[in-house]
Amino acid sequence: MRFSEQTVKLSWIDSSDDTYRITTKTMIDDLVDSIKKVGLINPPILIEKTRSGTKPSFVIVGGFRRIKACQRLRGSTIKARILDSDTSKLECVKLAITDNALQRPLNLIEESRSISMLSAFITEHDRIDREASTLGLPDNLTIIKKITNICRLPWPIQNGILTNTISLAMALELGRLAQKAGVALADLFSDLRLSLSKQREIIIVVKEIALRERISILEVLEDNYLQQIVNSKEFDRTQKTRKIRSYLKQRRFPELSKAEKEFKNHVKELKLGSEAKLIPPHNFEGTTYTLSLYFKNKKELNNHLSILGKIIKNPVLEKILD
């Protein structure tokens, strides 16, 4: 692979051509400041795409952010490493990956972009993992298969991975849904910063509601009441999460929700106070109740005898047990 260092006009570079883009970073303030102070230390890598008379057009192989920084500084030319025109696309891909990996560890989306690019030219499994290994990419075939298409998911899901609000496993699950539904859930998870367990809970309940009501997942998520909670300025993230989970549970299990509400009202009528707690059977699927009594000494325990007597005589107890 050969190249020559040349000074080229920035107007000759097609910055919109993302064929070899690996980086997910878009901020360039740090680069602008650095170039201002010490100049461009590491010239970008270009390859000629077309030529119209004496005016060439270059594709960026490495250095998208460096070129953008120089454009912001309103320069007219830039020093660059120009690859020979006979350089293969696979060689360009490898060079793009190496150029990025030498500067910093690649994030999951950048690794996905890299492997996806390699996969376009290398189809043999035993070769793709060898090539990945030499380039500092994951070389486990199971991992390679999982992350190859991550870079093709809708951007809100990819961004969730980059901001650590969505895991790889969850991103893959969202990617299997209809695109708009996956994006809507990704936005919800990112906005509320939900834990993985709560994300899984919401997906399961939403899927079950959609199946039970014979509507799409997106229709469940676009419910007016649900959107009012999501967009409310009155509630913080914790309150929104609690209200959304409660609403979805109530919608998924209307009879259970009704039973829970009635039980809470009856317990209030018993007036147990803070020293006693009545616990119903799980999901009200049984007949065994638990009564917990809290005490610090014999006197407090003895006082519970009168509490128990009042509970037993209270007609509300019969309503609960029935």
Mean pLDDT throughout 304-308?
79
CB 43 within 8 A of CB 78: yes
In angstroms, the CA 39 to CA 45 distance is 16
Average pLDDT over residues 304-316: 81
**What's phi and psi for 296, nearest 5 deg?**
-110, -20
| Domain-wise residue ranges, the chain | 1-89, 164-252, 269-321
Tens of pLDDT, residues 73-85: 988 999 999 999 8
* pLDDT tier, 261 (very low <50, low <70, confident <90, very high otherwise): confident
The tokens of 89 are what? 């696309």
Contact criterion met (CB below 8 Å) for 262 and 241: no
Range name among 36-50, 59-73, 123-137, 197-211 with the lowest pLDDT average? 123-137
Matching residue, tokens 């380039």: 135
Return d(Cα 20, Cα 97) in angstroms, integer: 9
Residue 51 has pLDDT above 90, yes or no: no
- pLDDT given at position 1: 63
Cα–Cα distance measured from residue 57 to residue 43, given in angstroms and rounded to the nearest whole number: 17
3-state helix, strand, coil in the chain (%, to 5): 60, 10, 30
Helix (H, G, I), strand (E, B) or coil at 155: helix
Task: For residues 126-154, give the mean pLDDT.
Answer: 90
d(CA 92, CA 90): 5
Query: Alpha carbon of 168 to those of 26, 53, 84, 119, 176: distances in Å?
Result: 22, 48, 38, 20, 13
pLDDT at position 59 over 90: yes
pLDDT above 80: residue 285:
no
Which pLDDT band, with edges at 50, 70 and 90, does 270 fall under?
Answer: confident
Instruction: Give the residue, 87 or 321, on which the prediction is more confident.
Output: 87
Average pLDDT on 30-50 reads: 90
Strand (E) or helix (H) holding 143: helix 141-147
- Asked whether the beta carbons of 20 and 92 are under 8 A apart, the reply is yes
Compute φ and ψ for 47, nearest 5 degrees. -140, 140
Residue showing tokens 């609960």: 320
**Mean pLDDT computed over every residue of the chain:** 89
Q: Cα–Cα distance between 111 and 144 in angstroms, integer? A: 9
Q: Distance between CA 131 and CA 138 in Å, rounded?
A: 10
User: Of all helices (H) and strands (E), which one includes residue 93?
Assistant: helix 89-101
With residue 189 as reference, give the H or E element that holds it: helix 179-192
Give yes or no for residue 257 having a pLDDT over 70.
no
- How large is the average pLDDT for residues 147-153? 94
Contact (CB, 8 A) for 99 and 67: no
SS (H, E, C) 160-181: HHHCCCCCHHHHHHHHCCCHHH
pLDDT attached to residue 318: 81
CATH class of 1-89: alpha beta
pLDDT for 232 beyond 80? yes
The pLDDT of residue 47 is above 90: yes
